[in-house]
Structure 1
């Protein structure tokens, strides 16, 4: 089974031992961040630092001024955490030891964009903005993200790309000092709190025959019992919001996500060389938001070369994709192998076998730069048992 690991450029640059250490795990490829959101990341083996703070969402290479001149919003170059062509430097070092490099591109997740261009953000039913969540219904946002997908995905030497957050982002976010778990929110409440009511989305609801203000008020009314703790976490979306509002909002959002995915993938393919693979990080439940954006499995596998599916804690999201996979499709199981982040590197072989039985034909391991030495030793052992 073909296996890849995720890495950041700062895991490699400045550490001459990093490429051989990654290759020694027994993996075939590295999915290397080329455009990434803000983060604070541990680097447990780096000779020069232990913590890297990426202060804002940025591209990890010099953006093409010819593409972006006079445009706003536009991608932000990285600061000192990834200076110059940090991506290119790391990619060259990894390629030199025989690893195939694919780009890792985060799209609809950008807090700095929301801070500097607040009108681009998702706005919930209460009027609260989510600055980390660009609204993909807005033309300016789509133009930025499709341009970013093209430029960041097709870096020199890359053999493919994996597009994260290629769809709706919503309430759930690993934000700085997050204090949003006081009231447990199930899937339905998360969906309701992620519905956007910016002017573009209001127009979209109206085009489907809804009164946007009445819809917004109905969402707030539906959420009132949630704040009092009176709604089970497993309540269906249709029961929480009502069948008609749930169906109408999902129709608009699913159509918006599909067309955005079509535009992003088409833009990448137009710029990419022959044989370049395009995968999306995806969830088969269309109303889900986030890094693994909700998708229609049949649509996304007809559009892209494959999907990367979150499987830490279980591979139950794989079968809907496996049912629609063609002979050349890639349903890749994404397994966390960092013990401190809830991963289980010691059960990698068993978890991979389970994922394969449910349709996965590739593995992604998150994340070779964040894992401890003990975790990486367990990964190497597990991969050796896969053969």
Structure 2
């Protein structure tokens, strides 16, 4: 199966050996960040540094000034962690090493925008605002995300793109010094704590015949057992148990329609701007009520719109590939994404077994997170695993 690894521009720029080293892993593709959220990242092999601090979400290339002129919401330029056309410089080096280059675009995840424009954020049933989570129901935000996707995805020379967080972002977020794990929320508590009550979402609830204040009160009451440590286990059925089937179904109808239409619009806009044959994948979860970087989708719908999906497949429980495989056509890509940084919970030592299992569940490609962050030992194990898989 074709393998790709995720890469940041700062992993490559300033390191004359980086591109060849990445190609030497045995991958055919580099999925290179062109728009990314704030982060603090290790660069364990760079000749000049070891830590990169990206202070805010930014595009890693010069923006098209004409596209954004006069608009309230616009992308932020990167600081000294990715100056100039950092993406373009890294892409040229990776292509020069013989790798296909696809863009990696993070969309609905932007803490700086939430701080500067508080009205754009998700607001939960308690009135707490999530500055890291833009509300994707708001018309201005949807227009911003669509144009950002087009600009950041279709970079010169790119053969495709992978769109991350194209959907609802909610409570889960690796925020600075996170202190949110004291109560186990589970899928149900996370969903309820991620329901948005901004003006756009309140209007959406009204259109479905709900009274927003009453709905928010119901959500707060439903969460009381969770705060006491007695919330039900399980997925969507646990949401229905806490909130009641009718209300749960209504909230999901609103959120699913918003996410589905945004995903359709963004993929369509990227495809219209891209050259023929340009591949568009979404980082996705097959349960549409879930939130986060792997946005919840309807598998049948998303595979009819995009060329495929990238699915998290960490070692352990069975990866969520089957719902996508059940709706995939011969042209769809199902890329299984494996963390291979052992210090971040990855398992490069079991990569052959993990990939083999994913292939049996329908995976057609492999993604490796992340060549820039992994240790030399991790990368050695990856190289050995890809060589073994290539020989099969």
RMSD, matched Cα? 0.7
Q: 1:107, 1:165 within 8 Å by CA — same for their partners in 2? A: yes
- Determine the structure 2 residue equivalent to 1:110: 110
- Determine the structure 2 residue equivalent to 1:265: 267
Instruction: Work out whether 1:362 is the aligned partner of 2:341.
Output: no
- Determine the structure 2 residue equivalent to 1:157: 157
SS in 2 for 1:30: strand
Deviation at 1:224, TM superposition (A): 1.1
Q: 2:185, 2:231 within 8 Å by CA — same for their partners in 1? A: no
Q: How does 1:336-347 map to 2 (within 5 A)?
A: 336-347=339-350
SS in 2 for 1:265: helix
Compute the TM-score of the two structures, normalised by the length of structure 2: 0.98
SS in 2 for 1:363: strand
SS in 1 for 2:343: helix
Deviation at 1:229, TM superposition (A): 1.3
Within 2, Cα distance between the matches of 1:136 and 1:67? 20
2:284 pairs, out of 279, 282, 285, with 282
Deviation at 1:237, TM superposition (A): 1.0
Instruction: Work out whether 1:308 is the aligned partner of 2:298.
Output: no
Within 1, Cα distance between the matches of 2:184 and 2:178? 14
Q: 1:315, 1:333 within 8 Å by CA — same for their partners in 2? A: no
Identify which range, 235-244 or 99-108, moves more after superposition.
235-244
Instruction: Work out whether 1:50 is the aligned partner of 2:22.
Output: no
Q: 1:134, 1:141 within 8 Å by CA — same for their partners in 2? A: yes
Deviations 1:150-207 (A, max 9, x none): 0000000000000000000000000000101111110000000000000100110110
SS in 2 for 1:331: strand
Q: 1:315, 1:358 within 8 Å by CA — same for their partners in 2? A: no
Q: 2:9, 2:32 within 8 Å by CA — same for their partners in 1? A: yes
- Determine the structure 2 residue equivalent to 1:4: 4
Within 2, Cα distance between the matches of 1:15 and 1:70? 38
Deviation at 1:315, TM superposition (A): 4.1
Q: How does 1:152-301 map to 2 (within 5 A)?
A: 152-234=152-234, 236-301=238-303
Deviation at 1:233, TM superposition (A): 3.7
Runs of 4 or more above 4 Å deviation:
none
Identify which range, 306-315 or 68-77, moves more after superposition.
306-315
- Determine the structure 2 residue equivalent to 1:38: 38
Q: 1:166, 1:293 within 8 Å by CA — same for their partners in 2? A: yes
SS in 1 for 2:309: strand
Q: 2:189, 2:231 within 8 Å by CA — same for their partners in 1? A: no
SS in 2 for 1:145: helix
Within 1, Cα distance between the matches of 2:34 and 2:230? 44
1:352 pairs, out of 335, 352, 355, with 355
Within 2, Cα distance between the matches of 1:184 and 1:177? 18
Q: 1:4, 1:28 within 8 Å by CA — same for their partners in 2? A: yes
SS in 1 for 2:373: coil
Number of aligned residue pairs: give it: 387
Q: 1:168, 1:293 within 8 Å by CA — same for their partners in 2? A: yes
Compute the TM-score of the two structures, normalised by the length of structure 1: 0.99
